[in-house]
Structure 1
C-alpha cells in the first residue's frame, strides 16, 4: 500500500493537513501527538504494517494538530477549543459523520471535548496516557491523583527532554521500554521534521496548564483509558480519570519487548481500538451535551430609560441587541433568547464564550451602556429550541453577580480556558441563589495569546534528504529500516 495523498482543510486561514486510509466501516480518527510526521512514518516497515492493518479494517484518518508537521505554521499555541473544532473540521471535510476517536497524551483533551459536546459524532473513545488535567496547578499544589508521587520531578523530566527536542528523548517519558538507540534515532527525526524546538516547548507549557477535567462526566460513549505498564506516570492518574468517565474501563498495556520497534510498542493501542470498534454502540442521549452558557444584562437600565425616554432607549436597546447577535455569531455561538435587556447564548467552547462576553462589554461601552456578563460551562439539555438544566441556572446567577463591564466566570470556565491566553483574577467564593454550595468565581483580566514564531522546522541536510526520499521512494527507506531492525540488539539502551 502506498502512502495516501495528503489532504488539507482551511482553519482560520491556515492549512491543516490530514490523511485518509481505507474505506467503509468502522471509521477511526487518530489524533497524533506533535512529535510524529505522517510522511516519515510510512517509511518504517512496522508502522507501515499498522497503517495497512487499519486500512484493511475500515476507514481511518491520521491528523496532527494545527501548526505541526505537514500543516501551515501558526502564530500561537492553539487552545483546547480550537483543537476540538479542528477535529470536527477534519471529520466534516473527510465526510465522516461518526467515528471512534483515539488520542495520546495532550491530544486526549480535545477529543474529550468533542465527545462531551457532540455525542452524536462519537461512537467510542480511546485515551492513551491521557493528559486532561494540568500538572502545573494555579495554586502550586499537588495535582490530584499524584498523592505519594513526585509531580515536580515528572514535570522537570518533560521540560528536560523538550529542551533537547529533536533527540528522540521524548521516548523516556512516554514509554521507556521502547527507548532503544534505533527507536530514539527514528523518534528524533520525526521530532525535528514536525516542529521547531521553540514551538515544541511552547506547546509543552500550554499542556502543563491545560485542564478539561469538568468535561469528563459528560462523555456518554464507551471509553477505554490506556496506561502503558512502563510509563513513568503513576497508574493512579489513569485510574482517577477512568473513574470520572461514565462507561469507561482502564487497561494496563504490556511493556514493550527488548528491541521492539516503535510500531510493536504501539500495537497494543491499535488492538484496543479494534476491540472497542467491535463493541461500540450509540448509547448517548444526543439531547444532553456539554456546553458553555453566556448571560448578558444591561446595568441600570431603568435609570437609562428614565434619562433617554422610551423612543431613544428603544433604539439604543435595539442597537445593543444587534451588537450582541453579531458578536455571538462571530464567535461561533447561538443566541438562545432575548428577554428585556438581557440575553442568553450557548457556545461549544468556553474560550469562545469568554471572548464573546469581552466583545459584548466593549461594544456596550461604545454605545454608552454598561453590560454585565456571566459565563459557565456544564451539562445542558435540549428542550426544543430552548436549553434547560442546572448549568443554565448557575450561569444566570453568575451573570447577576457581575459588575458593570465585567466578565465573570466559574472555576470550570477558568480551568477549561487554561492556556488560551485568557487570564483571570479571583472574585472569591460566593453563594448563588438557589444553588447548593459555594462557588469560586473569577473576573476576566486579560485576553492575550501565547505567541510562537511562524517558522517551519529547520532540518539538516541529511534530514532533508530523508524527508525527500520518504515522499518519493518510501519503499527504499522501509527496506533500509528493516535491515536496521534486523541488526538491532535485543536489549534497551
Structure 2
C-alpha cells in the first residue's frame, strides 16, 4: 500500500518488539508494540519520549510487561520527539497532528479500536481523540492529567501564569539532568542514581532543550474543556493525592465533566516517570479494562462544523440572470468540494448558496474555510464562513445538535470574505500557525450565553 507523495503507508517493525514507522500526510511516526493480551491499549504518555530506549530501565520494562499481560500495548513517539519526524523550528504541533499520529499508528498495527491510556501531557490528546473517534475508543484511562493547565476566571484551579513561567525556567535548566528534574516529578525516587541516569538520557534522546521548551510552553496553553462532555467511552480517572504539578482538583474537574467518569485518588505524589510506585495504578487499570464494556454510540461524535454562504447571492442572481448565475454557482460548488476533499472535510448538505460540512480536526477546518474564501474570489464572488467545534449527532439525512446552530450563527456574523470561529475552535488549534483577531463577545440568536468570536487573520 502506498500513501500520499509516493510514501509507503507504513514501514513495519523488523520484529514484534522493535520500533516500526507509520506514515502520516507529512511525516513518519515511530511506534512499538509490547505484549499480546486480548485487547489493544494505546499508550499516550508524556510528550517527551523515545520508544527505542524506554525499556532500558528495568522498572519501565516491568511496567510495560504488566500492561502486556492483559493487552497488546501500542506506544509511539509523537511528532517532535524521539524517533518520529521532528517539528520545524518555526512551527509547533497541534492536538490534531498528534491525533493523526495516533490514527496512523493504529492503522499500521491493524487496530480498529483500542483503549486509550492518557498520562500527564498525553491526557488532552487522549480526550480529544476519544471524543472525535468514539468508534475507535473502547475505554479511556486518564492518569495525573488535566483539561487545562493555566488559571482562568472560570478555571480557578489552574496554574497562575507567573508560576508557569517559573516552571518552564526550572525545566529548561534541568532538561537532560535527571538529578535536577526528578525532585519536581518523582520526589520519592529523586536520589536513585540509576533513575537519575535513565531519566536524563531519556530526556536528551527525546528532544533538545529548545524543542522541549517550545513544546512544553505549547502544552501549558492547551485547553480541551469544551471536549469533555462529548466523550462517550467508559472513563477512569486516576490521580495522585499529593501531585503538586497536576493537582488533584484538575483530576476531579475531569471526573465532573466527562459523562459517567469514575474517579480514584491514589496515595503519593510521583507522576513522572510513570513506572514509579506504579502497582496501584496498574491494578486499577487492569480491573477497569478487563470488564465487559458497551459499544459506544456511533451517531454522536466531536466535530468541527463549517457553514459557508455566498455574500449577496440574491443581488448577483438578479444581475446575472438564471443561466449565468447557475454556471457561476456550479463553479463555486466545484471549488468548495475540491477544498473539502483536500482537507478531509465531509460534505453534509448544500444550503442554497453555501455548504454545511464537518471535519475531524479543527485546524484543517479553519484552513479549508480560508482556502475556499481565496479560491472563489477570482469568480467575482465572496463567501463568509463560520466554524464551531462540538458534539454532533449523525443522521442519514444530515447532522443535528447545538454545535450546528452555533456554527450557523457564527457564520451569520462573519464579514464578506471572512472566516469567523468560536473561542472553542481557537482554543483547540493552539500550536498551529493560524493567527486570529479578537472580535469580542456576542449573543448568538437562539443560543444561551455570550460567545467569544475570533476572525482568522492568516498564518504565521
TM-score between both structures, scaled by the size of structure 1: 0.84
Query: 1:83 maps to which residue?
Result: 98
Matched, 1:144 2:155: yes
Written as runs of structure 1 = structure 2, the 5 A alignment for 1:179-328 is 179-182=190-193, 183-233=195-245, 234-255=247-268, 263-279=275-291, 281-328=293-340
Q: Is the 8 A contact 1:175 1:232 kept in 2?
A: no
Alpha-carbon distance in structure 1 between the residues aligned to 2:377 and 2:417: 8
Match of 1:107 among 109, 113, 122: 122
Moved segments of 4+, more than 6 Å: none
- How many equivalent pairs are there? 440
Structure 1 regions of 5+ residues with no counterpart? 449-493
Higher relative contact order (CA 8 A, sep 6+): 1
Q: Which secondary structure state, in structure 1, belongs to the residue aligned with residue 275 of structure 2?
A: helix
Partner of 2:75: 62
**CA deviation profile, 1:35-70 (whole Å, cap 9, x unmatched):** 332222222222222222222323110112113111
Is the counterpart of residue 382 in structure 1 residue 406 in structure 2?
Answer: no
Distance between the aligned counterparts of 2:253 and 2:413, measured in 1? Answer: 34
1:151-193 per-residue CA deviation (whole Å, 9 max, x = no partner) reads: 6325422432134321124434433333224222211100001
The match for 1:470 is none
Aligned to 1:333: 345
Contact 1:178/1:262 (8 A) holds in 2: no
| Distance in 2 between residues matched to 1:111 and 1:223, nearest whole Å | 11
User: 1:9 deviation in Å?
Assistant: 0.6
Partner of 1:180, secondary structure, is: coil
- Closer, same or farther: CA 426–261 of 1 in aligned 2, 3 Å: closer
Q: Does 1:51 align with 2:64?
A: yes
Q: Distance in 2 between matches of 1:117 and 1:154?
A: 29
Aligned to 1:468: none
- Deviates most, 5-14 or 329-338: 5-14
Q: Please, which of 165, 168, 178 is the counterpart of residue 189 of structure 2?
A: 178
Contact 2:303/2:358 (<8 A) preserved: yes
Q: Secondary structure at the match of 2:408?
A: helix
Asked whether the equivalents of residues 56 and 198 of structure 2 are also in contact (C-alpha less than 8 Å), the reply is no
Structure number with greater Rg is 1
Paired residue secondary structure (1:265): coil
Q: 1:93 to 1:419 in 2, by over 3 A?
A: same
Deviation at 1:349, TM superposition (A): 1.2
Cα distance change of structure 1 residues 72 and 429 upon mapping to structure 2, 3 Å threshold: closer
Which string of whole-angstrom CA distances, capped at 9 and with x for unpartnered residues, describes residues 56-90 of structure 1?
32311011211311112232321011111221221
CA RMSD across the alignment: 2.3
Distance 1:35 1:366, change over 3 A: same
Cα gap change, 1:284 to 1:145, in 2 (>3 Å): farther
Q: 1:174 to 1:329 in 2, by over 3 A?
A: farther
Secondary structure of the 2:238 match is strand
